[in-house]
Amino acid sequence: MTYVFLLCAIVGEVIATSALKAANGFTNLVPSVIVIVGYAAAFYFLSLTLRTLPVGIAYAVWSGLGIVLISIVGWVIYRQALDLPAILGMGLIIAGVIVINAFSRAGH
């Protein structure tokens, strides 16, 4: 269940961060509510994750995958450009998350 909670935290954070642009400085009600609920859910599920997973590992996975996913959302929804260095950097982030989960004993 730990990784299910972590996945829920990542999804909540990506939804909230995606809605931040539409919230327009918290002047638009619906996106603002989505931001608040999304971040609340993200931190709640992250706190559940931290019951069993070390904080450094949990945060590395949470922030790393969050960066990649929110960059994809920005590219698809907001038409924000991703150049080759950005894509390569995100590839390295994904590789780092894979290495942590596949080879590190710190999370076990």
Identify the burial level of 99 via C-beta atoms within 10 angstroms of its C-beta, where 0-12 means exposed, 13-18 middle and 19 or more buried.
Answer: exposed
Rounded-to-integer distance, Cα 33 and Cα 101, Å: 33
Rounded-to-integer distance, Cα 11 and Cα 22, Å: 17
Q: State the pTM of this model.
A: 0.84
State pLDDT tens for residues 20-67. Answer: 989 999 999 999 999 999 999 999 999 999 999 989 889 888 988 999
